[in-house]
Structure 1
Amino acid sequence: MSFTPLRDDDAEREPTDKSAFTPGIEPQATWCPGCGDFGVLKALKGAMGDLGYTPEEVLLVTGIGCSGKLSSYFESYGYHSLHGRALPIARAAKLANPGLEVVAAGGDGDGYGIGGNHFIHTARENHDLTYIVFNNEIFGLTKGQTSPTSPKGHKSKTQPHGSAKDPVRPLSLALVGGASYVARTAAVNPNQAQEILKEAIQHDGFAHVDFLTQCPTWNKDAKQYVPYVDVQQSEDYDFDITDRREASAMMHDVEDALHDGEVLTGRFYHAPDRPSYGAEKRAQGDLPEDPLAERYFDDDADWERSYDLLDAHR
């Protein structure tokens, strides 16, 4: 392991070979045939390659579930965390070493259920990282239970008479929470998916990507999320993604449409001028200009211990 210095985002970077993000000894993927998770993996590799990253510059933090296996099939620094806990780990890593490009990933149960509180507050604080949520409207790894995004009336092992709950609205939740980049894409639209992930990774702040990933094994109701419509390419939709009110109204329509059988994807909100949490804390002097992670590689570094901060309370 080596320290990754703060990169110059203004420097010209040549694309790298995306195959560098395939592990040298490639593990056999255990996702089911036809699973949308393959689309996330392909889009993420392509995005990192197009942006000129190398595996040593990237940290991928995953949660639990089918989506949690992503870090096993993606060559970079990786951390397979607990259910719903990918975001606090990703936040800490980015604050300690802002030179890393940090990506967190989890499923809809992981991100919008048990990890929902972390999701809201990571968005509120605008941490500089990308959060990909594999949204298949089901708990897949545990064999088909109703999830936070399952539509009302959806029947499953845990809701045999149909869910009585309205589903979570992921895009609206991200916007209300405070995310500064919000988008939705789908595994069946690989070109759009790769471009949206590139934008999310380049964004300086919290970028949330709701990634529709079909589950042909446990959620046949969702089919393949086709046909889909790219709202930026359609003449039927005209809204300003930098206007919070217009974005909110559009997100509400998009989330209604999904459960009416119409899949609308694209970029829905972007606030490029909002400072990230790390930038705010460095400006206040609460974080050192030199990354904390650098101290691990400097034998002469002056370490501050937590017990030194507690002296006043003894």
Structure 2
Amino acid sequence: MSAFSAIGEETDKDQNEFTPGLEPQPTWCPGCGDFGVLKALKGAAAELGLSPDEMLLCTGIGCSGKLNSYFESYGFHTIHGRSLPIARAAKLANPGLTVVAAGGDGDGYGIGGNHFMHSARENHDMTYIVFNNEIFGLTKGQTSPTSPKGHKSKTQPHGSAKEPLRPLSLSLTSGASYIARTAAVNPNQAKEIIVEAIEHDGFSHIDFLTQCPTWNKDARQYVPYIDIQDSDDYDFDNTDRREASEMMAETEDALHEGTVLTGRYYVDSERPSYGQEKRTIGEMPEEPLAERYFDDDYEWERSYDMFLDKHR
């Protein structure tokens, strides 16, 4: 008998299946952009025909960390900045599982920035959604890595002297194979991008602009927005790294000048994921590791035996 018999079943799904019975109503502040992420993720999961048993959602600390309390699936609430290592290990251990990691701009680009870079570099097959509201929200309004230069906060009362981090450009140079930006005010595009990101075989990074009306009142609400795929003013090949890089730079410059650009920035469908690479060289099994507990004939391996043999 398999512990993962639900994975791969073709069934019609309703997004209400992803609303938990224990805590169905989120407690984010009224007007918070995080509601948009939750709605888009539920819609994407249903459109893909997934069930809660087929998904794992890993979150960090912050307002974004509440996401898996309001989304019915397997979940792992990690410590600050550590959602990606847990998500990576889960995907390697069970290749059939749909793995989504989520964190805020402080959680993902600051405290967990090293994990972000190396998860992208290794091209792990997962989707990483970063709630980017340009502020530390849960801890009451400190400057974050994406806060614009000059932004005044509790930690920078005279205005930040730092240039903001450029998440799209960082993602590209780190090695992510799917990179997109969307916004809570654009729910249809957000759902479409999450669907594409989950279907993509490799590390998918979504920079999700989420307004914070409580602790970042100076920030724009990310409207009006321009979908770069629908606009005649932006013509580039998102499979070409150089053209993608130039479009990302233009987007990141424009955000703090009042123009919100969103869309798909880079897609590399040819590069194998880290899991594929590991299975090719025989270092990871094709089946979920937990399946071995159901196989009475399986001869258990012990990693220390390999090291002992080398020293005998």
Q: TM-score range by the shorter chain?
A: over 0.9
Q: What is the alpha-carbon distance in structure 1 between the residues aligned to residue 292 and residue 93 of structure 2?
A: 10
Does the alignment pair 1:155 with 2:152?
yes
Q: Are the aligned partners of 1:232 and 1:267 in contact in 2 as well (CA < 8 Å)?
A: yes
Cα 1:6–1:246, aligned 2, differ >3 Å: closer, same or farther?
A: farther
The share of aligned pairs that are identical, in percent, is 76
Structure 2: which 5+ runs fail to align? Answer: none
3-state DSSP of counterpart to 1:310: helix
Q: Distance in 2 between matches of 1:248 and 1:117?
A: 21
1:173 pairs, out of 144, 161, 170, with: 170
User: Where do 1:76-115 residues align within 5 Å?
Assistant: 76-115=73-112
Letter in structure 2 aligned against 1:17 = D
Q: CA RMSD in A?
A: 1.6
| Alignment check: 8 A CA contact 2:95 2:287 kept | no
**Aligned with residue 143 of structure 1, among 131, 140, 144:** 140
Partner of 1:220: 217
CA contact (8 A) 2:55 2:98 kept: yes
State which of 235, 238, 243 in structure 2 corresponds to 1:241: 238
Does the aligned pair in 2 maintain the 1:21–1:76 contact within 8 Å? yes
Shift of 1:25: 2.5
For the residues of structure 1 that align with 2:311 and 2:256, how far apart are their CA atoms? 54
Runs of 4+ in structure 1 deviating by more than 6 angstroms, as ranges, are none
CA distance in structure 2 between the aligned counterparts of 1:89 and 1:220, rounded to whole angstroms: 33
Report which stretch shifted further, 224-233 or 287-296: 287-296
Letter in 2 for 1:302: E
Q: Letter of the aligned partner of 2:40 in structure 1?
A: A
Structure 2 counterpart of 1:45: 42
2:61 matches 1:64: yes
Task: Name the structure 1 match of 2:14.
Answer: 17
Preserved CA contact (<8 Å) 1:6 1:98? no
How far has the Cα of 1:126 moved from its partner? 0.4
Amino acid in the other structure paired with 1:82: I
Deviates more, 1:18-27 or 1:244-253: 18-27
What CA distance in whole angstroms lies between the structure 2 residues aligned with 1:37 and 1:194?
14
Q: Could you report, residue by residue, the CA deviation over 1:152-207 in whole angstroms, capped at 9, with x for unpaired residues?
A: 11110001111111111000011000000000000000000000000000000000
TM-score (norm 1): 0.95
Give the structure-2-normalised TM-score: 0.96
- How many residue pairs match? The answer is 310
1:101-154 superposed Cα distances (whole Å, 9 cap, x missing partner): 000000000100011010011001100000000000000000000000000111
